[in-house]
Chains A and B, each alone.
Chain A
Amino acid sequence: MATKRDMMEKMWRYRKNIFVQLCRFIVLGLHFNRLVKKVH
Protein backbone atom coordinates (compact mmCIF):
# COMPACT_ATOMS: atom_id res chain seq x y z
CA MET A 1 0.00 0.00 0.00
CA ALA A 2 1.25 3.48 -0.89
CA THR A 3 2.27 5.61 2.06
CA LYS A 4 0.43 8.83 2.87
CA ARG A 5 3.49 10.74 1.67
CA ASP A 6 3.41 8.87 -1.70
CA MET A 7 -0.26 9.69 -2.12
CA MET A 8 0.26 13.36 -1.34
CA GLU A 9 3.21 13.50 -3.74
CA LYS A 10 0.91 12.05 -6.42
CA MET A 11 -1.73 14.72 -5.68
CA TRP A 12 1.02 17.35 -5.87
CA ARG A 13 2.26 16.04 -9.22
CA TYR A 14 -1.16 16.21 -10.82
CA ARG A 15 -2.31 19.44 -9.16
CA LYS A 16 -1.94 21.47 -12.35
CA ASN A 17 -2.64 18.74 -14.93
CA ILE A 18 -5.56 20.19 -16.89
CA PHE A 19 -7.17 16.83 -17.73
CA VAL A 20 -6.95 15.49 -14.18
CA GLN A 21 -8.16 18.78 -12.73
CA LEU A 22 -11.13 18.95 -15.10
CA CYS A 23 -12.17 15.51 -13.88
CA ARG A 24 -11.68 16.57 -10.24
CA PHE A 25 -13.67 19.78 -10.88
CA ILE A 26 -16.63 17.68 -12.01
CA VAL A 27 -16.31 15.11 -9.22
CA LEU A 28 -15.87 17.73 -6.49
CA GLY A 29 -18.63 19.90 -7.97
CA LEU A 30 -21.06 16.99 -7.80
CA HIS A 31 -19.93 16.29 -4.23
CA PHE A 32 -20.45 19.94 -3.19
CA ASN A 33 -23.86 19.86 -4.85
CA ARG A 34 -24.84 16.74 -2.92
CA LEU A 35 -23.79 18.33 0.39
CA VAL A 36 -25.57 21.59 -0.40
CA LYS A 37 -28.78 19.67 -1.19
CA LYS A 38 -28.67 18.17 2.31
CA VAL A 39 -29.47 21.61 3.75
CA HIS A 40 -31.56 23.36 1.09
Chain B
Amino acid sequence: MAKVVVVGAGFAGHYAALILADALKGKGGHEITVISRVPKFTYIPSLVWVGVGQMAAEDVQFDLKPVYDKVGINFVHGVAKEVHPDEKYVVVEKPDGGTQQVDYDYIIMATGPYLNFEGTPGLGPDNGYTQSICTPPHATKAASAYLDLVSRMEKGEKVKIVIGTGHGAATCQGAAFEYISNVHNDLVDRGLRDRAEILWLSNEPALGDFGIDGLEVKYGGQVFTSEDVLQFLFEKYGIKWQIRSHVKQVDEKKIYTIDLDGNENEIEYDFAMLIPQFKAQPIKWIDKDGNDITDKMCNPAGFVKVDAVYGKPYAELDGPDWPRTYQNPIYKNVFAAGIAFAPPGPLSKPQQAPDGSPIAPAPPRTGYTAELSGKAAALNIVDMIEGREPSHTASMAETPGLCVASLKHHLFSGEAVTIAIYPVARNRAAYPEYGRDLDNCVAEIGLAGAWFKWFLHHAFLYKLQAKPGWKLIP
Protein backbone atom coordinates (compact mmCIF):
# COMPACT_ATOMS: atom_id res chain seq x y z
CA MET B 1 0.00 0.00 0.00
CA ALA B 2 1.45 3.37 -1.04
CA LYS B 3 0.81 6.75 0.56
CA VAL B 4 0.59 9.61 -1.93
CA VAL B 5 0.45 13.19 -0.71
CA VAL B 6 -0.54 16.15 -2.87
CA VAL B 7 0.36 19.57 -1.47
CA GLY B 8 -2.02 22.16 -2.92
CA ALA B 9 -5.54 21.93 -4.31
CA GLY B 10 -5.59 24.24 -7.30
CA PHE B 11 -5.80 23.16 -10.92
CA ALA B 12 -2.66 20.99 -10.75
CA GLY B 13 -3.01 19.54 -7.25
CA HIS B 14 -6.74 18.95 -7.15
CA TYR B 15 -6.85 17.40 -10.61
CA ALA B 16 -3.79 15.24 -9.81
CA ALA B 17 -5.57 13.96 -6.69
CA LEU B 18 -8.71 13.07 -8.67
CA ILE B 19 -6.61 11.29 -11.32
CA LEU B 20 -4.73 9.37 -8.61
CA ALA B 21 -7.95 8.36 -6.84
CA ASP B 22 -9.40 7.12 -10.11
CA ALA B 23 -6.27 5.30 -11.30
CA LEU B 24 -5.55 3.60 -7.96
CA LYS B 25 -9.15 2.73 -7.09
CA GLY B 26 -9.46 -0.94 -6.11
CA LYS B 27 -5.72 -1.57 -6.54
CA GLY B 28 -4.57 -2.41 -3.04
CA GLY B 29 -5.87 0.24 -0.68
CA HIS B 30 -3.46 3.02 -1.60
CA GLU B 31 -3.90 6.18 0.46
CA ILE B 32 -4.17 9.63 -1.13
CA THR B 33 -4.01 12.77 0.99
CA VAL B 34 -4.40 16.37 -0.13
CA ILE B 35 -2.96 19.17 2.01
CA SER B 36 -4.39 22.61 1.29
CA ARG B 37 -4.20 25.94 3.06
CA VAL B 38 -7.72 26.77 1.84
CA PRO B 39 -10.62 24.31 2.19
CA LYS B 40 -12.12 25.31 -1.17
CA PHE B 41 -11.23 24.93 -4.81
CA THR B 42 -11.33 28.21 -6.74
CA TYR B 43 -11.93 28.39 -10.47
CA ILE B 44 -9.50 31.27 -10.89
CA PRO B 45 -10.33 32.14 -14.56
CA SER B 46 -13.73 33.47 -13.47
CA LEU B 47 -12.36 35.75 -10.73
CA VAL B 48 -12.22 38.49 -13.36
CA TRP B 49 -16.04 38.62 -13.25
CA VAL B 50 -16.02 38.66 -9.44
CA GLY B 51 -13.68 41.66 -9.64
CA VAL B 52 -16.21 43.76 -11.56
CA GLY B 53 -19.15 42.71 -9.37
CA GLN B 54 -20.78 40.51 -12.02
CA MET B 55 -20.38 37.24 -10.14
CA ALA B 56 -20.26 36.26 -6.46
CA ALA B 57 -17.08 34.63 -5.09
CA GLU B 58 -19.07 31.56 -4.01
CA ASP B 59 -20.03 30.94 -7.65
CA VAL B 60 -16.39 30.23 -8.51
CA GLN B 61 -15.65 27.97 -5.53
CA PHE B 62 -16.68 24.67 -3.99
CA ASP B 63 -15.77 22.85 -0.76
CA LEU B 64 -13.04 20.27 -1.24
CA LYS B 65 -13.90 17.89 1.63
CA PRO B 66 -17.24 16.60 0.29
CA VAL B 67 -15.60 15.89 -3.08
CA TYR B 68 -12.70 14.06 -1.42
CA ASP B 69 -15.07 12.10 0.85
CA LYS B 70 -16.92 10.98 -2.27
CA VAL B 71 -13.82 9.68 -4.08
CA GLY B 72 -11.89 8.37 -1.07
CA ILE B 73 -9.20 11.05 -0.64
CA ASN B 74 -8.04 12.24 2.80
CA PHE B 75 -8.03 15.99 3.31
CA VAL B 76 -5.75 17.94 5.63
CA HIS B 77 -6.57 21.62 6.03
CA GLY B 78 -3.33 23.45 6.78
CA VAL B 79 -0.16 25.03 5.45
CA ALA B 80 2.78 22.80 4.49
CA LYS B 81 5.84 24.31 6.20
CA GLU B 82 8.55 21.66 5.78
CA VAL B 83 9.20 18.60 3.65
CA HIS B 84 11.62 15.94 4.94
CA PRO B 85 12.42 13.97 1.76
CA ASP B 86 14.73 11.40 3.42
CA GLU B 87 12.25 10.49 6.16
CA LYS B 88 9.35 11.12 3.76
CA TYR B 89 7.01 13.33 5.70
CA VAL B 90 5.49 16.81 5.51
CA VAL B 91 5.03 19.15 8.47
CA VAL B 92 1.70 20.92 8.29
CA GLU B 93 0.67 23.95 10.33
CA LYS B 94 -3.04 23.63 11.13
CA PRO B 95 -5.45 26.59 11.29
CA ASP B 96 -5.60 26.23 15.11
CA GLY B 97 -1.82 26.74 15.35
CA GLY B 98 -0.98 23.09 15.97
CA THR B 99 1.19 20.98 13.69
CA GLN B 100 0.61 17.64 12.01
CA GLN B 101 3.07 15.24 10.40
CA VAL B 102 1.82 13.66 7.17
CA ASP B 103 3.83 10.65 5.91
CA TYR B 104 4.21 9.83 2.26
CA ASP B 105 5.81 7.43 -0.19
CA TYR B 106 5.24 9.77 -3.13
CA ILE B 107 4.54 13.48 -3.11
CA ILE B 108 3.33 16.05 -5.63
CA MET B 109 4.13 19.66 -4.83
CA ALA B 110 1.38 21.78 -6.40
CA THR B 111 1.32 24.70 -4.02
CA GLY B 112 0.49 27.49 -6.43
CA PRO B 113 2.08 30.91 -6.05
CA TYR B 114 2.91 33.11 -3.11
CA LEU B 115 1.59 36.56 -4.02
CA ASN B 116 4.62 38.72 -3.36
CA PHE B 117 2.91 42.08 -2.77
CA GLU B 118 5.77 43.13 -0.51
CA GLY B 119 8.08 42.97 -3.56
CA THR B 120 6.59 46.35 -4.54
CA PRO B 121 6.13 48.89 -1.72
CA GLY B 122 2.52 50.06 -1.53
CA LEU B 123 1.15 47.25 -3.71
CA GLY B 124 -1.88 45.14 -2.82
CA PRO B 125 -5.23 45.35 -1.08
CA ASP B 126 -4.07 44.33 2.41
CA ASN B 127 -1.06 46.54 3.14
CA GLY B 128 -1.09 48.78 0.09
CA TYR B 129 -3.27 50.92 -2.12
CA THR B 130 -3.98 48.78 -5.19
CA GLN B 131 -6.48 46.03 -5.86
CA SER B 132 -5.92 42.42 -6.94
CA ILE B 133 -8.12 39.72 -8.47
CA CYS B 134 -5.78 36.83 -7.57
CA THR B 135 -7.94 35.32 -4.80
CA PRO B 136 -11.69 35.35 -4.05
CA PRO B 137 -11.34 37.79 -1.10
CA HIS B 138 -9.14 40.08 -3.21
CA ALA B 139 -11.54 39.97 -6.18
CA THR B 140 -14.49 40.71 -3.88
CA LYS B 141 -12.62 43.67 -2.41
CA ALA B 142 -11.68 44.86 -5.91
CA ALA B 143 -15.36 44.73 -6.93
CA SER B 144 -16.33 46.80 -3.91
CA ALA B 145 -13.66 49.42 -4.68
CA TYR B 146 -14.62 49.42 -8.36
CA LEU B 147 -18.34 49.91 -7.59
CA ASP B 148 -17.44 52.78 -5.23
CA LEU B 149 -15.57 54.34 -8.13
CA VAL B 150 -18.59 53.84 -10.38
CA SER B 151 -20.75 55.69 -7.80
CA ARG B 152 -18.33 58.62 -7.92
CA MET B 153 -18.44 58.61 -11.71
CA GLU B 154 -22.24 58.57 -11.66
CA LYS B 155 -22.04 61.85 -9.73
CA GLY B 156 -20.01 63.32 -12.58
CA GLU B 157 -16.44 62.73 -11.39
CA LYS B 158 -13.78 61.95 -14.00
CA VAL B 159 -11.35 59.21 -12.94
CA LYS B 160 -8.10 57.51 -13.87
CA ILE B 161 -7.95 53.71 -13.90
CA VAL B 162 -4.70 51.75 -14.13
CA ILE B 163 -4.68 47.98 -14.67
CA GLY B 164 -1.80 45.60 -15.39
CA THR B 165 1.25 44.24 -13.58
CA GLY B 166 2.71 45.61 -10.36
CA HIS B 167 6.25 44.28 -10.68
CA GLY B 168 8.79 43.82 -13.48
CA ALA B 169 8.90 40.07 -12.91
CA ALA B 170 5.13 39.54 -12.63
CA THR B 171 3.20 37.04 -14.69
CA CYS B 172 -0.51 36.44 -15.48
CA GLN B 173 -0.78 39.46 -17.77
CA GLY B 174 -3.72 37.61 -19.35
CA ALA B 175 -5.83 37.95 -16.19
CA ALA B 176 -5.11 41.68 -16.03
CA PHE B 177 -5.95 42.00 -19.74
CA GLU B 178 -9.32 40.34 -19.11
CA TYR B 179 -9.95 42.65 -16.19
CA ILE B 180 -9.16 45.87 -18.07
CA SER B 181 -11.41 44.77 -20.95
CA ASN B 182 -14.29 43.86 -18.62
CA VAL B 183 -13.95 47.17 -16.78
CA HIS B 184 -14.01 49.04 -20.11
CA ASN B 185 -17.12 47.20 -21.32
CA ASP B 186 -18.88 47.52 -17.97
CA LEU B 187 -18.33 51.29 -18.05
CA VAL B 188 -19.61 51.41 -21.64
CA ASP B 189 -22.78 49.58 -20.58
CA ARG B 190 -23.24 52.00 -17.67
CA GLY B 191 -22.82 54.98 -19.99
CA LEU B 192 -19.80 56.15 -17.99
CA ARG B 193 -16.88 55.28 -20.25
CA ASP B 194 -16.24 58.92 -21.21
CA ARG B 195 -15.57 59.72 -17.54
CA ALA B 196 -12.60 57.34 -17.26
CA GLU B 197 -9.07 57.37 -18.62
CA ILE B 198 -7.92 53.76 -18.69
CA LEU B 199 -4.24 52.80 -18.82
CA TRP B 200 -2.69 49.35 -19.43
CA LEU B 201 0.53 49.23 -17.40
CA SER B 202 2.65 46.17 -18.03
CA ASN B 203 6.10 44.59 -17.82
CA GLU B 204 5.67 42.97 -21.24
CA PRO B 205 8.43 43.72 -23.78
CA ALA B 206 5.69 44.17 -26.41
CA LEU B 207 1.93 44.57 -26.32
CA GLY B 208 0.31 41.12 -26.39
CA ASP B 209 3.40 39.31 -25.09
CA PHE B 210 1.44 37.79 -22.16
CA GLY B 211 4.64 36.32 -20.69
CA ILE B 212 4.76 33.71 -23.46
CA ASP B 213 6.76 35.76 -25.98
CA GLY B 214 3.52 36.62 -27.76
CA LEU B 215 1.92 34.50 -30.43
CA GLU B 216 1.41 34.44 -34.16
CA VAL B 217 -1.58 33.25 -36.14
CA LYS B 218 -2.13 32.78 -39.86
CA TYR B 219 -5.25 34.16 -41.53
CA GLY B 220 -5.78 34.67 -45.26
CA GLY B 221 -2.13 34.00 -46.02
CA GLN B 222 -0.90 36.67 -43.59
CA VAL B 223 0.77 36.25 -40.23
CA PHE B 224 -0.78 38.29 -37.42
CA THR B 225 0.95 38.78 -34.10
CA SER B 226 -0.75 39.16 -30.72
CA GLU B 227 0.74 42.68 -30.77
CA ASP B 228 -1.30 43.47 -33.92
CA VAL B 229 -4.49 42.16 -32.30
CA LEU B 230 -3.97 43.88 -28.91
CA GLN B 231 -3.07 47.21 -30.49
CA PHE B 232 -6.20 47.03 -32.65
CA LEU B 233 -8.37 46.11 -29.65
CA PHE B 234 -6.97 48.80 -27.33
CA GLU B 235 -7.46 51.42 -30.05
CA LYS B 236 -11.10 50.31 -30.42
CA TYR B 237 -11.54 50.42 -26.64
CA GLY B 238 -9.73 53.74 -26.22
CA ILE B 239 -7.27 52.19 -23.76
CA LYS B 240 -3.80 53.75 -23.57
CA TRP B 241 -0.76 51.65 -22.70
CA GLN B 242 2.60 51.86 -21.00
CA ILE B 243 4.60 48.65 -21.38
CA ARG B 244 8.22 47.53 -20.70
CA SER B 245 7.77 48.91 -17.19
CA HIS B 246 8.58 47.93 -13.63
CA VAL B 247 6.52 49.38 -10.78
CA LYS B 248 8.96 50.66 -8.17
CA GLN B 249 6.47 51.90 -5.64
CA VAL B 250 2.85 52.86 -5.14
CA ASP B 251 1.42 55.48 -2.81
CA GLU B 252 -2.11 56.67 -2.20
CA LYS B 253 -2.16 58.84 -5.33
CA LYS B 254 0.60 57.74 -7.68
CA ILE B 255 2.29 54.70 -9.21
CA TYR B 256 6.04 55.16 -9.72
CA THR B 257 7.52 53.28 -12.68
CA ILE B 258 10.75 52.85 -14.59
CA ASP B 259 10.99 51.42 -18.09
CA LEU B 260 13.67 49.59 -20.05
CA ASP B 261 15.14 52.87 -21.31
CA GLY B 262 15.40 54.25 -17.79
CA ASN B 263 12.47 56.65 -18.16
CA GLU B 264 10.83 57.22 -14.79
CA ASN B 265 7.14 58.03 -14.67
CA GLU B 266 4.61 58.99 -12.00
CA ILE B 267 1.10 57.83 -12.86
CA GLU B 268 -1.84 59.35 -11.01
CA TYR B 269 -4.72 56.97 -10.36
CA ASP B 270 -8.10 56.69 -8.68
CA PHE B 271 -8.35 52.92 -9.03
CA ALA B 272 -5.61 50.43 -9.80
CA MET B 273 -5.58 46.65 -10.14
CA LEU B 274 -2.02 45.40 -10.47
CA ILE B 275 -0.95 41.74 -10.44
CA PRO B 276 1.97 41.13 -8.04
CA GLN B 277 5.09 39.07 -8.68
CA PHE B 278 4.53 35.36 -8.04
CA LYS B 279 7.04 33.59 -5.82
CA ALA B 280 6.99 30.05 -4.47
CA GLN B 281 5.21 29.24 -1.22
CA PRO B 282 7.83 29.35 1.56
CA ILE B 283 8.42 25.65 2.26
CA LYS B 284 11.67 24.33 3.71
CA TRP B 285 13.26 21.09 2.56
CA ILE B 286 15.15 19.37 5.39
CA ASP B 287 17.43 16.33 4.98
CA LYS B 288 17.92 13.46 7.43
CA ASP B 289 20.70 15.33 9.27
CA GLY B 290 18.48 18.37 9.79
CA ASN B 291 20.21 20.43 7.08
CA ASP B 292 18.18 22.90 5.05
CA ILE B 293 18.50 21.64 1.45
CA THR B 294 15.93 24.03 -0.07
CA ASP B 295 18.56 25.55 -2.36
CA LYS B 296 19.32 22.08 -3.79
CA MET B 297 15.66 21.16 -4.28
CA CYS B 298 14.44 24.52 -5.56
CA ASN B 299 15.49 27.36 -7.85
CA PRO B 300 16.28 30.77 -6.29
CA ALA B 301 12.59 31.75 -6.39
CA GLY B 302 11.72 28.61 -4.40
CA PHE B 303 10.07 26.59 -7.18
CA VAL B 304 10.82 22.85 -7.07
CA LYS B 305 13.32 21.55 -9.63
CA VAL B 306 12.08 18.81 -11.91
CA ASP B 307 13.37 17.11 -15.07
CA ALA B 308 14.08 20.35 -16.95
CA VAL B 309 17.47 21.45 -18.29
CA TYR B 310 18.43 24.31 -15.98
CA GLY B 311 21.11 26.95 -16.36
CA LYS B 312 20.95 27.75 -20.07
CA PRO B 313 20.88 31.41 -21.15
CA TYR B 314 17.61 32.64 -22.67
CA ALA B 315 18.97 32.68 -26.22
CA GLU B 316 19.86 28.98 -26.07
CA LEU B 317 16.72 27.78 -24.31
CA ASP B 318 14.48 25.61 -26.50
CA GLY B 319 11.57 23.18 -26.35
CA PRO B 320 13.52 20.07 -25.33
CA ASP B 321 14.75 21.90 -22.20
CA TRP B 322 11.23 22.02 -20.71
CA PRO B 323 10.29 19.31 -18.20
CA ARG B 324 8.31 16.31 -19.39
CA THR B 325 7.62 14.00 -16.43
CA TYR B 326 7.80 16.59 -13.59
CA GLN B 327 9.98 14.26 -11.49
CA ASN B 328 12.61 15.71 -9.17
CA PRO B 329 16.12 14.60 -10.19
CA ILE B 330 17.36 14.06 -6.60
CA TYR B 331 14.38 12.40 -4.95
CA LYS B 332 12.58 10.29 -7.56
CA ASN B 333 9.42 10.05 -5.43
CA VAL B 334 9.02 13.86 -5.49
CA PHE B 335 7.09 15.56 -8.30
CA ALA B 336 6.06 19.19 -8.81
CA ALA B 337 3.28 20.54 -11.01
CA GLY B 338 1.53 23.76 -11.96
CA ILE B 339 3.14 26.97 -10.76
CA ALA B 340 5.18 25.01 -8.18
CA PHE B 341 7.63 23.47 -10.68
CA ALA B 342 10.75 25.41 -11.57
CA PRO B 343 10.73 26.35 -15.27
CA PRO B 344 14.08 26.12 -17.10
CA GLY B 345 13.82 29.83 -17.86
CA PRO B 346 11.45 32.52 -19.05
CA LEU B 347 9.42 32.40 -22.26
CA SER B 348 9.65 36.18 -22.72
CA LYS B 349 13.02 37.81 -23.13
CA PRO B 350 14.30 38.81 -19.66
CA GLN B 351 15.62 42.37 -19.51
CA GLN B 352 16.36 45.01 -16.90
CA ALA B 353 16.07 48.74 -16.53
CA PRO B 354 19.30 50.80 -16.30
CA ASP B 355 18.92 50.90 -12.50
CA GLY B 356 18.92 47.09 -12.41
CA SER B 357 15.17 46.67 -11.90
CA PRO B 358 14.07 43.39 -13.51
CA ILE B 359 11.66 43.69 -16.41
CA ALA B 360 11.25 40.03 -17.14
CA PRO B 361 7.76 38.52 -17.27
CA ALA B 362 7.75 35.09 -15.64
CA PRO B 363 6.29 32.19 -17.64
CA PRO B 364 2.64 31.51 -16.87
CA ARG B 365 1.87 27.85 -16.07
CA THR B 366 -1.67 28.10 -14.86
CA GLY B 367 -5.08 26.67 -15.82
CA TYR B 368 -5.03 23.98 -18.47
CA THR B 369 -1.23 23.80 -18.52
CA ALA B 370 -1.22 23.29 -14.74
CA GLU B 371 -3.82 20.56 -15.06
CA LEU B 372 -1.78 18.72 -17.67
CA SER B 373 1.37 18.79 -15.54
CA GLY B 374 -0.64 17.60 -12.50
CA LYS B 375 -2.12 14.75 -14.51
CA ALA B 376 1.30 13.68 -15.84
CA ALA B 377 2.80 13.73 -12.33
CA ALA B 378 -0.13 11.69 -10.96
CA LEU B 379 0.04 9.06 -13.69
CA ASN B 380 3.83 8.81 -13.31
CA ILE B 381 3.36 8.04 -9.62
CA VAL B 382 0.87 5.32 -10.62
CA ASP B 383 3.57 3.99 -12.97
CA MET B 384 6.08 3.85 -10.12
CA ILE B 385 3.64 2.24 -7.68
CA GLU B 386 3.03 -0.46 -10.28
CA GLY B 387 6.76 -0.99 -10.82
CA ARG B 388 7.24 0.95 -14.06
CA GLU B 389 9.39 3.94 -14.96
CA PRO B 390 7.48 7.26 -15.33
CA SER B 391 6.06 7.24 -18.85
CA HIS B 392 3.59 10.13 -18.94
CA THR B 393 4.71 13.47 -20.30
CA ALA B 394 3.19 16.93 -20.57
CA SER B 395 5.98 19.25 -21.66
CA MET B 396 4.91 22.83 -22.25
CA ALA B 397 6.89 22.54 -25.48
CA GLU B 398 4.70 19.64 -26.63
CA THR B 399 1.25 20.60 -25.33
CA PRO B 400 -1.24 23.24 -26.44
CA GLY B 401 -2.19 26.37 -24.59
CA LEU B 402 -5.92 26.98 -24.67
CA CYS B 403 -7.12 30.29 -23.32
CA VAL B 404 -10.33 32.24 -23.61
CA ALA B 405 -9.79 35.81 -22.47
CA SER B 406 -13.07 37.39 -21.51
CA LEU B 407 -13.68 40.94 -22.71
CA LYS B 408 -17.32 41.12 -21.66
CA HIS B 409 -19.44 38.62 -19.75
CA HIS B 410 -22.82 38.24 -21.44
CA LEU B 411 -24.39 35.38 -23.39
CA PHE B 412 -25.76 37.62 -26.16
CA SER B 413 -23.66 40.78 -26.14
CA GLY B 414 -20.45 39.33 -24.66
CA GLU B 415 -17.09 39.02 -26.37
CA ALA B 416 -13.81 37.27 -25.74
CA VAL B 417 -10.52 36.51 -27.41
CA THR B 418 -10.29 32.81 -28.17
CA ILE B 419 -6.64 31.77 -28.17
CA ALA B 420 -5.05 28.43 -29.00
CA ILE B 421 -1.30 27.99 -29.32
CA TYR B 422 0.66 24.87 -30.04
CA PRO B 423 2.90 24.40 -28.22
CA VAL B 424 2.94 26.84 -25.29
CA ALA B 425 6.74 27.10 -25.08
CA ARG B 426 8.40 27.83 -28.41
CA ASN B 427 10.03 24.68 -29.72
CA ARG B 428 12.37 25.58 -32.55
CA ALA B 429 13.75 22.05 -32.65
CA ALA B 430 10.30 20.92 -33.84
CA TYR B 431 9.09 24.10 -35.59
CA PRO B 432 12.19 26.02 -36.78
CA GLU B 433 10.48 29.12 -38.20
CA TYR B 434 8.31 30.34 -35.32
CA GLY B 435 8.84 27.66 -32.68
CA ARG B 436 5.13 26.90 -32.95
CA ASP B 437 2.84 25.16 -35.42
CA LEU B 438 0.97 28.15 -36.86
CA ASP B 439 -1.62 25.87 -38.48
CA ASN B 440 -2.76 25.07 -34.95
CA CYS B 441 -2.65 28.61 -33.55
CA VAL B 442 -5.78 30.75 -33.27
CA ALA B 443 -6.59 34.21 -31.90
CA GLU B 444 -9.91 35.81 -32.70
CA ILE B 445 -12.36 38.16 -31.09
CA GLY B 446 -16.07 37.44 -30.89
CA LEU B 447 -19.19 36.33 -29.09
CA ALA B 448 -18.22 32.68 -29.70
CA GLY B 449 -15.40 33.20 -27.19
CA ALA B 450 -17.85 34.47 -24.58
CA TRP B 451 -19.84 31.26 -25.05
CA PHE B 452 -16.64 29.21 -24.67
CA LYS B 453 -15.74 31.05 -21.49
CA TRP B 454 -19.20 30.41 -20.04
CA PHE B 455 -19.10 26.76 -21.12
CA LEU B 456 -15.61 26.20 -19.68
CA HIS B 457 -16.63 27.78 -16.35
CA HIS B 458 -19.45 25.26 -15.93
CA ALA B 459 -17.64 22.28 -17.47
CA PHE B 460 -14.56 22.66 -15.26
CA LEU B 461 -16.55 23.23 -12.08
CA TYR B 462 -18.58 20.11 -12.93
CA LYS B 463 -15.52 18.00 -13.74
CA LEU B 464 -13.51 19.08 -10.72
CA GLN B 465 -16.36 18.22 -8.35
CA ALA B 466 -16.09 14.65 -9.71
CA LYS B 467 -19.72 14.62 -10.71
CA PRO B 468 -21.04 11.68 -12.81
CA GLY B 469 -19.13 11.36 -16.07
CA TRP B 470 -16.41 13.84 -15.00
CA LYS B 471 -13.71 11.75 -16.65
CA LEU B 472 -15.31 12.37 -20.05
CA ILE B 473 -14.41 16.08 -19.81
CA PRO B 474 -10.76 16.48 -20.90
Residue positions of A touching B, CB distance < 8 A? 1-2, 4-5, 7-8, 11-12, 14-18, 20-22, 24-25, 28-29, 31-32, 34-40
Contact = CB atoms under 8 A, between A and B. Distances in A.
Contacts, number: 78
Contact of A15 (B219, B228, B415): B415
A3 B474 CA distance: 38
B11 interface: no
B394 A4 contact: no
Main secondary structure of the interface of A (DSSP, over half): helix
Contacts of A17: 447
Given A1-B221, A4-B228, A28-B418, A12 B445 contact: yes
A7 B220 contact: yes
B446 interface: yes
A21 B229 contact: no
16 contacts: A1-B221, A2-B220, A4-B224, A7-B220, A7-B222, A8-B229, A21-B448, A22-B448, A24-B444, A24-B446, A25-B452, A28-B418, A29-B452, A35-B402, A35-B422, A39-B394
Contacts of A1: 220-222
Contact of A7 (B219, B452, B474): B219
Interface residues on B, range: 20 to 34
B444 A31 contact: no
Contacts of B196: none
A8 B457 CA distance: 28
B399 interface: yes
A18 B399 CA distance: 31
B151 interface: no
A21 B232 contact: no
A8 B402 contact: no
Contacts of A31: 420, 440, 442
Interface in B62-84: none
B445 A24 contact: no
A16 B402 contact: no
B447 A39 contact: no
Contacts of B451: 21, 25
Nearest to B376: A39
Contacts of A5: 232
A35 B449 CA distance: 17
Contacts of A39: 372, 394, 398-400
A14 B72 CA distance: 49
- Of the listed residues A2, A18, A22, A35, the one surrounded by the most CB atoms of chain B closer than 10 A to its CB is A35
Contacts of B444: 11, 24, 28
Interface of B: 219-222, 224, 228-229, 232, 236, 372, 394, 398-400, 402, 413, 415, 418, 420, 422, 440, 442, 444-449, 451-452, 474
B400 A38 contact: yes
B427 to A, nearest CB: 13
Contacts of B222: 1, 4, 7
Contacts of A34: 440
A36 B452 contact: no
Contacts of A36: 400, 402, 474
A17 B206 CA distance: 31
A12 to B, nearest CB: 7
Contacts of A25: 448, 451-452
A16 B229 contact: no
B163 to A, nearest CB: 22
Nearest to B221: A1
A22 B229 CA distance: 22
A28 B229 contact: no
B446 A11 contact: yes
B15 to A, nearest CB: 12
Given A25-B452, A40-B474, 19 more contacts: A7-B220, A7-B224, A11-B444, A11-B445, A11-B446, A12-B445, A16-B446, A21-B446, A21-B447, A21-B448, A28-B418, A28-B420, A28-B449, A29-B452, A37-B474, A38-B400, A39-B394, A39-B398, A39-B399
Contacts of B442: 28, 31
Nearest to A8: B232
